[in-house]
A and B are shown apart, each in its own frame.
Chain A
Amino acid sequence: MNTSETPQNVHEQIVTLLPRLRRFARNLTRNPHDADDVVQIALERALTRLDQWHRDARLDSWMFKIVRNAWIDELRSRTRRDKIFLAAEAGDSVGTDSMARESDLMSVQSAMARLPEDQREAVSLVLVEGLPYREAAEVLDVPIGTLTSRLARGREALQALLGTEGETP
């Protein structure tokens, strides 16, 4: 579908992805401020590497992967910094409160925030962002079998946290 890409064109496509990139980053970081910082870092990286994006690849998957790598880098440097400063960053707690909405919807997000990271990533990419398994596995750099087992465990955990009320309005 992307036959003639100009850089401006790609930039505008990335702009349209921004809401999803932010949402994915929030699921990764569980903190809206961290999420926006990570997205900004990812955008800066992506723009310097646009030549590495293959036009037959999905731009959203490619961007999700850059966002995730930016977060991994940030976590690494945080771990290092925390070791340097002994004092852990107080207040770096889960930021779900500020994302509170209706109580029912909130419960989905707070349940998500409780999942282990690998399950949260899998659920976030497949259920929230709607990526096919193959794309999600590619973003996470894992075999499809690993992705599907994380997804299955994540779903079971969500189901247990949210209750099995079958249908919701």
Chain B
Amino acid sequence: MTISDETLMAYADGELDAAARAAVESAMRSDPQIEKRLIQHQALRRRVQTAYSAELSEAVPERLLMAARGVPSQPGGRNVVNLQEARAAMERSAPRAPSSRPRWQSVGALAASLMLGVAVGFFMWGRSPSPFVVGPGGALVARGPLAQALSNQLASEQSPSSSVRVEVSFLAKSGEYCRTFSLSADEASPSGLACRHGDEWQVQTFAGEPAAGGSSDYRTAGSGLPASILKSVEGQIAGEPLDQAGEKAARARGWKSIAP
């Protein structure tokens, strides 16, 4: 009688009913090979269990004990797990750490002038000329090297000579193409999000000052983008970011929006 390996494993795992167990035991008596195989399965099972038994006596971190008991706790000092947490953390901390000089502002119709102030103010500190101008509609419009980079530079082919890095390109829910940029290769450099509107790159979000001190938590692992930009991307993106072929195709069509 042949006994399959799966049956022997099930025997070792205590998963067989009495009749099946009896069949295995009777087969073992007539065939020592079967017994040998069973002993191997049992030994492996014990070995795995033993190897993992020490973990059960490790001290459980306080934050997990609190979470299990339903006690709300702040996330630990580790890097942020996900965007939802990053957002929640930003929202939690925003009222506690008021700043006289906002780090970033989204451009809504109402906030445009305020953000313009931030952006222009930033460049008046000495990084002139400003890569932005105010467009006819009051929007902040990229110009000069920034505008050129947004129109021509592929994320996959950064030019070392360019002062601008373009990082992520995507199609927004509005049907417009949008791209994130940094104004230098430095991770902490000012960065933003611009979308192609008509023949212009309108700057939607701009983080004019590198995240400082405690807010470094909000830079998600693996990205040099501040959470504010990240949040804008997440809010506007339709589907996935463009890959290299997608970027090339979009560039070939002049980043003209796809009419909804």
Contacts and interface: CB of A to CB of B under 8 A. Distances in A.
Interface in B239-259: 240-241
Q: How large is the interface on A (under 10, 10 to 19, 20 to 34, 35 or more residues)?
A: 35 or more
Interface in B27-60: 39-41, 43-52, 54-58, 60
B81 interface: yes
B9 A19 contact: no
B48 A89 contact: no
A133 interface: yes
Given A18-B65, A22-B64, A86-B155, A155 B240 contact: no
Interface in A111-169: 112, 123, 126-128, 130, 132-133, 148-149, 151-152, 155-156, 158-159, 162, 164-168
A164 B223 contact: no
Contacts of A132: 15
Given A40-B64, A87-B223, A108-B51, A159 B56 contact: no
Interface stretch (B67-75, B104-112, B124-132, B135-143): B67-75
Nearest to A44: B67
Contacts of B49: 127-128, 130
Contact of B48 (A87, A108, A164): A108
Contacts, number: 138
B99 to A, nearest CB: 26
B10 interface: yes
Contacts of B57: 19
A152 B9 contact: yes
Interface in B59-112: 60-61, 63-65, 67-70, 78, 81-83
A106 B68 CA distance: 29
B78 A33 contact: yes
Q: Which residue of A37, A74, A89 has the most chain B CB atoms within 10 A of its CB atom? A: A37
Contact of B64 (A18, A164, A166): A18
Given A19-B56, A19-B57, A84-B168, A89 B221 contact: yes
A39 B64 CA distance: 7
A55 interface: no
A20 interface: yes
A65 interface: no
A83 B15 contact: no
15 contacts: A18-B60, A18-B64, A18-B68, A20-B56, A22-B58, A43-B64, A47-B70, A81-B220, A85-B167, A86-B167, A108-B52, A127-B48, A159-B40, A164-B40, A167-B43
Which 9 interchain pairs have the tightest Cβ spacing? Answer: A108-B51, A89-B222, A43-B67, A85-B223, A105-B51, A19-B56, A127-B48, A23-B55, A14-B68
